[in-house]
Structure 1
Amino acid sequence: MSKLLKFSAETGEKFLTYSLVSVGLGTVIAQVAPHVWFLDNYAGLFQLYKKGFAVEVPSHFETMLSEISDDLAIPVKNPLTRLLTVIGFDTMHFGTTSTTSGCFIGIPVNFNYKSEKDIDKLSIQVGNKSVPWDSKDGIELANSLILSDAAKRFGIAYELSLVDTFKFYLHCFSGPVIVIICGGVNNYFCNIFGLPYRPFPVKGVFYGLLIAFGIGFYYLSKDLITTYYEMQALKNVSKVGEEYITGGLEFYDKLLARNKALRNLLPDGSSEFNTDGDSIYLFRKKHVPITVKKQLLEKELEKLNHSNII
């Protein structure tokens, strides 16, 4: 074996090792940086502004958060859980309750709506166009934005339950675990087949497949972790009582109605939402479908009603 070939193989192996370590650390930093180190800055990117000023969260939502905290037995004072008004019409969460940085629960502006008169229709656009509010889809969209206090309470409770899980940590460590697996696969093929000394096209095909496997496995693990804890959060909230279950059913009914209206209003709406109102994902399953969440709550309500009869 020539010294040049040996040097090339050893250099390639060192480069691969350093690359794997860098990727593993990078996936951890990509999770920790926005949700811990720069939590305020990251959450601020989703803050809703109006006329140059941040839209404040009404004080009664702080009271509601405190009540939800008592119902779920999740402390919101230490570490601190804060509310902010976010862009769009979906609830969000940032950070986790298990770090000193605390977390944010993002509530959409339509949580402030009490009737259709409160909707700022001139500022809402769909597909960069004004909404035809007098059309059937426009009327359904407007109705979907009005929520009862029970539905709002459920939305906040669901997000609070999510930030009080191990989801953040599993997302952090899924990357390094997959890097270790990929490193093990590489070492196996190197030892058995002498991969470092094979022709470049052979190594190129192998590492191309290995990278594709690692990326695919990484996103698959992220989606499995997310969907698992979304279902756990639903179950935790539904255990509190009937008010949360009925609020959740309304919450998801309104989301489905909104998505059905958007399916017709958006130029490419049929590729964004299916006829039931669930989001369409090409390869991944980023979240539990809304219809599945609704079915779970319906089963929980049925169990509760059955136990009350007995």
Structure 2
Amino acid sequence: MASRFLKLSVLLQKYRAPLLIASCGGVFTANMFYHVFPDSSYRQLYQAWHKGEPVVLSEKLESVFQQVLKDFGISSAKNFSAFASFGFHPVGAGVPWLPAGAQIGIPANFNSTTDDLSGITNRNIFISGKTVDWSSEAGSALKEALVFSAEAQKFAIAREVARLQSGGPVLTAAVAPFCLGGVWVYSVVLKQVFGLHGGPMLMRGAVNIVALGIGAVSYFLTSDALSQWIDYSSDKRAAGMSREYARGGVEFYDKILSRNKMLRSLMGQKGEEMYAPSGNLFPAHVLQLKHTPYTSRREGILALMKEEKA
């Protein structure tokens, strides 16, 4: 057994550069897969269905989507397409400059207006195993939080367009292979510092474990920091297109915060674990930093409006 382990160690040491390149390339490819083929992966995951058939995006929302692309200065819309998704706010994947382009999912509640709530009230939403009663006080408050003005809808779509157009998916996918390469660098540097290149195998193994731990921490910190930077950058680009988009951004985050406060109340203990009293999201796990706070994203847009007004 020890002999096999020694042979494997020698093999890894001999071909470490090609193996490192192949590993980093494999991780990057895996992370980019559903962005390279969004139509057959991401869209299938988020596509809205009704009575066993995929929901077709309404003419109204298709028109809004095309208007956002026009406002963004995208002359050729062939690399961006929209579909009807489930959920309550737009989602997106893909890279516009690749052959498959980018896909943006727009939810059914974006069809709703204060005068016509059919995009919301004709859906059954289960919270803690119970269907939401839209006529109740809590249901009415949640319903109001799910209705967005045309300005807020445009902003919500525009921030996804901004994120995808700026290569957000590529940057996000590059974090893991970058940190994986960092593990090898940490390992080499630590062994060099402590003079362990020719030392006992046990000590070298311990150093490798330490390097792996540093790499894991680097991944979580870098991934979260990059995610927040992309979120703020996308908001700024979307809100910076016009005063109308900026107002829509403030409303959009106001509505999300209101919705999350209602969900916190309706979901009981689970809601308190997921949502802060302010409406922001709590971290998914201990090693993850806070999600980009909706309150600070809203404040960022307000600050941008003040700068433009000054």
TM-score range, shorter chain: 0.7 to 0.9
Residues 157-306 of structure 1: matches in 2 within 5 Å?
157-191=158-192, 193-195=195-197, 197-200=199-202, 202-267=203-268, 268-281=270-283, 282-285=286-289, 287-306=291-310
SS in structure 2 of the partner of residue 40 of structure 1: coil
Distance in 2 of aligned mates of 1:122 and 1:62: 21
Deviation at 1:64, TM superposition (A): 1.8
Deviation at 1:50, TM superposition (A): 0.8
SS in structure 2 of the partner of residue 123 of structure 1: coil
Cα separation, partners in 2 of 1:100 and 1:4, compared to 1, 3 Å: closer
User: 1:279-306 CA deviation, whole Å, 9 max, x = no partner?
Assistant: 1114324742110111011112223333
Moved over 4 A (4+): 3-9, 14-19
**Mapped pair 1:87 → 2:91:** no
For residue 40 of structure 2, what is the amino acid of its counterpart? Answer: D
Deviation at 1:166, TM superposition (A): 2.8
- Aligned pair count reads 302
- Note the residue ranges of structure 1 that are not aligned, 5 or more in a row: none
Distance in 1 of aligned mates of 2:306 and 2:298: 12
RMSD of equivalent CA atoms: 2.6
Residues 141 and 262 in structure 2, CA contact (< 8 A), matched pair in contact too: yes
Matched with 2:103 is 104
User: 1:228-272 CA deviation, whole Å, 9 max, x = no partner?
Assistant: 122111111222211111111111111100000000111400110
For residue 145 of structure 2, what is the amino acid of its counterpart? Answer: S
Which structure has the higher relative contact order (CA within 8 Å, separation 6+)?
1
Identity of aligned residues (%): 24
Distance in 2 of aligned mates of 1:31 and 1:6: 32
TM-score (norm 1): 0.87
- Note the residue ranges of structure 2 that are not aligned, 5 or more in a row: none
Cα separation, partners in 2 of 1:169 and 1:4, compared to 1, 3 Å: closer
Cα separation, partners in 2 of 1:5 and 1:254, compared to 1, 3 Å: closer
Matched with 1:28 is 28
Cα separation, partners in 2 of 1:4 and 1:102, compared to 1, 3 Å: closer
Residues 91 and 105 in structure 1, CA contact (< 8 A), matched pair in contact too: yes
Residues 196 and 204 in structure 2, CA contact (< 8 A), matched pair in contact too: no
TM-score (norm 2): 0.87
Residues 82 and 103 in structure 1, CA contact (< 8 A), matched pair in contact too: yes
- Per mean C-alpha deviation after superposition, the further-off stretch among 169-178 and 243-252 is 169-178
**Mapped pair 1:155 → 2:156:** yes
- Per mean C-alpha deviation after superposition, the further-off stretch among 233-242 and 110-119 is 110-119
